[in-house]
């Protein structure tokens, strides 16, 4: 069985407060884009095999962790061989690893005819990470809580998005540890209204990521990427905790022109678009 695992961007990210359990309550609009990793699943006689060129221990990979969670949930081993072709940069603020894990849960559910509901998968996935419920579902959503409480929004598909990444990883844990929470809240009502009208340029004064202040201090080059994209006509913002930056463009031609410039300066520059609908495996 072959499938795709899509990247995600945050169309604004607000951090409301810190919880007693160590997590943070957030508010964000989550949207998948057409950049994807490729995974192939094959049943084997026993155990778990992951074929990839990732230079990290298998037991630290979210694909393996997702497999373990599923096996524990159903109370038996689900032998599988998984081949991963990685296109999404790691630790880039694009939920690439989370997407891989989410697809693994759905693939195992289908391959082994486990008949688990989407809500079952979401519930078991929260132990793996706050972005899992969204990566299992997809679509365009306003997420609250730790990222698991959804309000479905009108599809925001077909918008040209240039994603630029300088080629290094940023620890989500470190960013959260150094985050300063303020009392100013992001205008999500205004953002949703602009999205519904596909008024891309109107988003320029509304999109905000509360993670940017700290990341910009530690990695000033990321701030430069945001500024460069903005000068090239994009509505630009850092995604998640970085290091990726995205720019929303009014049309594909403007995106292609920006790509021709920034692809020469940075390790990764992906021409993508927002994708609608809900994920299926």
Dump pLDDT digits (tens) for 138-149: 999 999 998 889
Among 14, 37, 131, 279, which one carries the catalytic annotation?
131
* Residue 212 belongs to domain spanning: 160-273
Q: What is the spatial distance between Cα 37 and Cα 5, in angstroms, rounded to a whole number?
A: 5
What is the domain-level CATH number for residue 241? 3.30.70.890
211-219 mean pLDDT: 95
Active site (annotated) includes residue 8: yes
Among 8, 27, 65, 106, which one carries the catalytic annotation?
8
What is the domain-level CATH number for residue 50? 3.30.230.10
- pTM assigned to the model: 0.93
Residues 207 and 251 in one domain: yes
Give residue 18's pLDDT band: very low, low, confident or very high (50, 70, 90).
confident
Residues 33 and 54 in one domain: yes
Cβ-Cβ contacts under 8 Å for 148 (sequence gap 6 or more): 122, 126, 130, 133, 134
Residues 126 and 37 in one domain: yes
Residues 49 and 184 in one domain: no
Dump pLDDT digits (tens) for 156-209: 999 999 999 999 999 988 998 898 888 899 999 999 999 999 899 999 999 999
DSSP label at 86? -
Residues 99 and 168 in one domain: no
Give residue 280's pLDDT band: very low, low, confident or very high (50, 70, 90).
low
The answer to whether residue 279 sits within a structural domain is: no
Q: How many domains does the structure of the chain reveal? A: 2
The answer to whether residue 206 sits within a structural domain is: yes
In this model, does residue 279 exceed pLDDT 70? no
The three-point CA angle 180-183-186 to 5° equals: 95
Residues 138 and 219 in one domain: no
The answer to whether residue 255 sits within a structural domain is: yes
Question: In the listed set 152, 169, 188, which residue is the last one of a domain according to the structure?
Answer: 152
In this model, does residue 247 exceed pLDDT 90? yes
């Amino acid at each position: 069985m072959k499938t795709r695992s899509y990247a995600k961007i945050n169309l604004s990210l607000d951090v409301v407060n810190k919880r007693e359990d160590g997590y943070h309550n957030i508010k964000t609009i989550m949207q998948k884009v057409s950049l994807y990793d490729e995974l192939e699943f094959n049943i084997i006689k026993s155990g778990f095999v992951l074929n990839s060129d990732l230079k990290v221990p298998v037991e630290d990979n979210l694909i393996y962790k997702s497999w373990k969670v599923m096996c524990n949930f159903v109370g038996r081993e689900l032998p599988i061989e998984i081949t991963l072709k990685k296109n999404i940069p790691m630790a880039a603020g694009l939920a690439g690893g989370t997407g891989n894990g989410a697809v693994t849960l759905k693939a195992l559910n289908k391959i082994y005819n486990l008949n688990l509901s989407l809500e079952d998968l979401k519930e078991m996935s929260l132990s793996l990470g706050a972005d899992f419920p969204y990566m299992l579902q997809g679509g365009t959503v306003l997420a609250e809580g730790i990222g698991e409480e959804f309000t479905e929004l009108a599809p925001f598909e077909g918008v040209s998005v240039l994603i630029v990444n300088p080629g290094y990883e940023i620890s989500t844990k470190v960013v959260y540890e150094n985050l300063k929470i303020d009392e100013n809240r992001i205008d999500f009502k205004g953002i949703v209204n602009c999205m519904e009208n596909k008024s891309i340029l109107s988003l320029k004064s509304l999109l905000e990521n509360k993670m940017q202040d700290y990341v910009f201090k530690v990695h000033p080059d990321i701030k430069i990427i945001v500024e460069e994209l903005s000068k090239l006509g994009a509505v630009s913002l850092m995604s998640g905790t970085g290091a990726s930056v995205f720019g929303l463009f009014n049309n594909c031609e403007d995106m292609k022109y920006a790509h021709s410039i920034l692809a020469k300066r940075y390790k990764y520059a992906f021409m993508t678009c927002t994708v609608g609908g809900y994920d299926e495996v």
